[in-house]
């Protein structure tokens, strides 16, 4: 009878460990699939990014999500308010411009680049944008004629304009 009482805490701990593992698995799956990805045809992107005023850059400031950092990040962002994209089912969706949006460019040669969407502008049929906010001179220039696919993803990061 004493052996049964001593085994009880072990059984209880085993059930709790299983619950914790299940919750962690569900949380991981949720995080992986909660970042929605949208596409935009290159021609639609060109039209929306060359509307009057969209080429102008503005100085913005966002929170720095790094722990123990009390200094915000300042950089130049595009002045686009929103962009119309397509969801997985082909439905049009209007995305508000935000520092959380990232852009994946797939080129016709198979090469892929990731840019911060709020830093992207189009000048002379060339897409120009930043790869980092911390190292601001890490920029890319990609001719629109070399782009096969454009994806925009809400990264879910905790960046906010200040």
Q: What does pTM read for this prediction?
A: 0.72
State the CB neighbour count (10 A cutoff) for residue 23: 10
What are the structure tokens assigned to 133, written together?
A: 């906010």
Residues of the chain with pLDDT > 70, as a percent, come to: 76
What are the structure tokens assigned to 68, written together?
A: 């123990």
For residue 147, the model assigns a pLDDT of 97
* pLDDT tens-digit series, residues 84-113: 999 999 999 999 999 999 999 999 999 999
Alpha helix (H) residue ranges in 35-94? 42-49
Q: Give the confidence band of 14 by pLDDT, cuts at 50, 70, 90.
A: low
What are the structure tokens assigned to 23, written together?
A: 């919750």
The structural domains of the chain, with segments of one domain joined by +, span 1-34, 36-154
Average model confidence (pLDDT) for the chain?
Answer: 82
Q: Give the confidence band of 114 by pLDDT, cuts at 50, 70, 90.
A: very high
* pLDDT tens-digit series, residues 26-48: 655 454 445 789 999 999 999 99
**Which residues does 155 contact at the CB level (< 8 Å), separation at least 6?**
35, 100, 101, 102
């Amino acid at each position: 009878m004493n052996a049964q009482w001593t085994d009880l805490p072990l059984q209880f701990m085993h059930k709790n460990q299983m619950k914790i593992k299940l919750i962690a698995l569900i949380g991981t799956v949720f995080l992986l699939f909660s970042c929605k990805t949208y596409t935009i045809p290159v021609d639609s992107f060109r039209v929306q990014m060359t509307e009057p005023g969209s080429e102008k850059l503005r100085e913005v400031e966002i929170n720095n999500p790094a722990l123990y950092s009390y200094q915000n990040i300042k950089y130049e962002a595009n002045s686009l308010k929103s962009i119309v994209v397509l969801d997985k089912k082909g439905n049009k969706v209007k995305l508000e411009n935000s520092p959380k949006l990232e852009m994946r460019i797939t080129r016709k040669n198979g090469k892929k680049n990731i840019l911060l969407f709020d830093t992207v502008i189009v000048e002379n049929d060339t897409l120009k944008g930043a790869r980092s906010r911390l190292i601001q001179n890490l920029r890319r220039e990609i001719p629109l004629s070399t782009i096969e696919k454009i994806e925009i993803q809400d990264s879910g990061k905790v960046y906010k304009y200040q």
